[in-house]
Amino acid sequence: MSEDQTKKDLKEAPSDESLEKLKSELEKAKSEYMYLAADFDNYRKQAVKERSELMKYGAERLIRDFLGVFDNFERALETEIKDQNIDSFRAGVKMIATEMKSMLQKFGVEEVKAEGEPFDPSKHEALSSEPRTDMPAGHVARVFKKAYKMHDKLIRPAQVTVASAPTEN
């Protein structure tokens, strides 16, 4: 662009019509921006509310299933235990435990095998060690609390005793 052309463009004032058109476009852009900002604010508030409700009521399905198992436990506790019904009482408690294990599996919770496995600090919490001749040192000898995972995530490590080499006197 030549210097003469630039001077000519600067001298020409925009017409009232083009100014009105620019003002109209600016007002339209402002209005669209305000609607977009309001929509985003509403979305943000809704997301916060949904997250809050998920935290508050997220376990509802699990609790509903758990209450059925809990009802069975309460019925078992109401049973008067006598010598004649001890075996059926024990069988009933085993059925409740099986029902609970099934419910946990439904929600992706599984027991993680520990006894006899090599000690792994990412899955096991060592409470003590004991000399053992029936298994290699560094393996889990006893389990006090079982480990559980939910889907692929460990949710509770096992509390264990780890085998050590026997000491010679």
Which CATH number does the domain housing residue 162 bear? 2.30.22.10
pLDDT of amino acid 114 = 94
Q: How confident is the model at residue 34 (pLDDT cuts 50, 70, 90)?
A: very high
* Cα–Cα separations (whole angstroms), residue 101 to 69, 91, 109, 153: 10, 15, 9, 18
Is 141 a member of any domain?
yes
Greater confidence (11 vs 103) lies with 103
Establish if 63 belongs to a structural domain.
no
Residue 160 lies in a domain: yes
Q: How confident is the model at residue 169 (pLDDT cuts 50, 70, 90)?
A: low
> Is residue 48 in a domain?
yes
Flag whether pLDDT at 74 surpasses 60: yes
Q: Please tell me the predicted confidence (pLDDT) of residue 55.
A: 86
Instruction: Identify whether 18 is part of a domain.
Output: yes
Is residue 156 included in any domain, yes or no? yes
Which of 3-12, 41-50, 64-73 is least confident? 3-12
Average of per-residue pLDDT across 23-37: 93
What is the pTM for the complete model shown? 0.66
Based on the structure, what is the number of domains in the chain? Answer: 2
In percent, the amount of the chain with pLDDT more than 90 equals 62
> How many Å apart are CA 92 and CA 72, to the nearest integer?
9
Copy the structure tokens of residue 25. 């476009």
Q: Which two tokens stand for residue 47?
A: 């997301």
pLDDT at 80: 87
Residue 66 lies inside a defined structural domain of this protein: no
Residue 82 domain-assigned (yes or no)? no
Q: Residue 38: give the domain boundaries.
A: 5-9+12-57
